[in-house]
Amino acid sequence: MSSAAAGPAPLKNGPAHALMHLTVFVWGFTAILGRLISLSAIPLVFYRLVIVITVMPLVIWWRGLSMKVSGPTLRRFAVVGALVALHWLLFYGCIKYAGVAVAVLCLSTITFFTAVLEPVVFRRRASSSELIIGFGVMLGVGFLVKVETNTDFVGLAMGLGSALFSASFGVLNGRLARETRGEVMTFWELSAATVVTALFFALQPQSFVSPLALTLRDAGLLLGLGIGCTVLPWLWNLRVLQTLTPYALALAVSLEPVYSMVLAWFFFPDAEQLTWRFYAGCAVLLGLVAFNTWRKRPAR
């Protein structure tokens, strides 16, 4: 086995669930940072990725790993990277256009999309219980978007598109994470995402922002987004996928709106108001996550 494929043993079920929820909690800060950074979606995502692919070779060197991968594997990483780029562009585009609430609430629908896509990628029969739980999350999210936001079709389409692409690359990584070291996967996938994002500057050349034009505030926030909210949780995410299914991770990600909107209430109290309906919808999501965790508990 090559150094790229060799790695630590998969986590046990309990630690994997704990790391999964820590990962989702950290991801909850990405929407807040996206709102605080003054850049539009394309340069924001581009600089986030540039920071990651600059840091990852140092991590790979420190771990003593090889960056070499086969041609077919590299092509699979490129597909995943393209999906990541589209997910982030739509996610931050939705934040800038419709606000944090719409973006993170729509992201919760990845549970449903994953329940549909995972059986196809893993070549197994679709689970009726997963589809029902996923549909339940869709209803909870739809309720929250309807009563808590005033978004239009464009904002909703951007948010749902972001969730679809997130589910797509999450399912694909569920297979790849068991074949290649997470550090190597992260570098190649996000390198491909950087190239795809850079191509969008050709469509909107006016959106390009020179590195020299970045304010110190934006530069500092981008570093926090790139390292603290991308490199670390991305590696944790791939570690989790060695043990748990993409569906389990997607269901946990449905809690990201809870973290993001509570954080948004502290950072933007005048823009992100929470009502009892928000807490009711969050209770539904929490209940579904807890039920799925109990349902998948190992037999004694």
Q: What is the 3-state secondary structure of the chain?
A: CCCCCCCCCCCCHHHHHHHHHHHHHHHHHHHHHHHHCCCCHHHHHHHHHHHHHHHHHHHHHHCCCCCCCCHHHHHHHHHHHHHHHHHHHHHHHHHHHHCHHHHHHHHCCHHHHHHHHHHHHCCCCCCHHHHHHHHHHHHHHHHHHHHHCCCCHHHHHHHHHHHHHHHHHHHHHHHHCCCCCHHHHHHHHHHHHHHHHHHHHHHCHHHCCCHHHCCHHHHHHHHHHHHHHHHHHHHHHHHHCCCCCHHHHHHHHCCHHHHHHHHHHHHCCCCCCCCHHHHHHHHHHHHHHHHHHHHCCCCC
Categorize the per-residue pLDDT at 47 as very low, low, confident or very high, splitting at 50, 70 and 90: very high
Kindly tell me the burial class for residue 34, based on how many C-beta atoms sit within 10 Å of its own C-beta (0-12, 13-18, 19 or more). buried
Q: Which domain holds residue 83?
A: 13-293
245 within some domain: yes
154 within some domain: yes
Average pLDDT of the residues in 157-177: 89
Q: Which residue has the higher pLDDT, 28 or 162?
A: 162
Residue 178 has pLDDT above 70, yes or no: yes
8 within some domain: no
84 within some domain: yes
Average pLDDT of the residues in 152-179: 86
**Which pLDDT value is given to residue 270?**
62
**Which pLDDT value is given to residue 30?**
87
Question: How high does pLDDT run on average in the chain?
Answer: 82
4 within some domain: no
300 within some domain: no
**Among 236, 78, 256, 242, which residue's Cα sits nearest to residue 162?**
256
**Which pLDDT value is given to residue 299?**
46
**How many domains does one find in the chain?**
1
117 within some domain: yes
**Distance of alpha carbon 93 from alpha carbon 155, whole angstroms:** 9
199's tokens = 């191509």
Q: pLDDT > 90: what percent of the chain?
A: 33
**Which pLDDT value is given to residue 272?**
52
pLDDT for 190-232, tens place per residue?
A: 999 999 999 999 999 999 999 999 999 999 999 999 999 999 9
Cβ atoms of 86 and 196 closer than 8 Å:
yes
**Which pLDDT value is given to residue 4?**
46
pLDDT for 117-162, tens place per residue?
A: 888 777 777 677 777 776 777 776 666 666 666 677 788 889 889 9
Categorize the per-residue pLDDT at 79 as very low, low, confident or very high, splitting at 50, 70 and 90: very high
Residue at 125: amino acid letter: R
**Which pLDDT value is given to residue 128?**
76
279's tokens = 């807490």
Chain mean position to CA 62: 25
Categorize the per-residue pLDDT at 2 as very low, low, confident or very high, splitting at 50, 70 and 90: very low
Categorize the per-residue pLDDT at 110 as very low, low, confident or very high, splitting at 50, 70 and 90: confident
Tokens 């540039």 belong to which residue? 50
**Which pLDDT value is given to residue 246?**
81
299 within some domain: no
**Among 30, 39, 35, 48, which residue's Cα sits nearest to residue 85?**
48
**Which pLDDT value is given to residue 132?**
78
**Which pLDDT value is given to residue 108?**
74
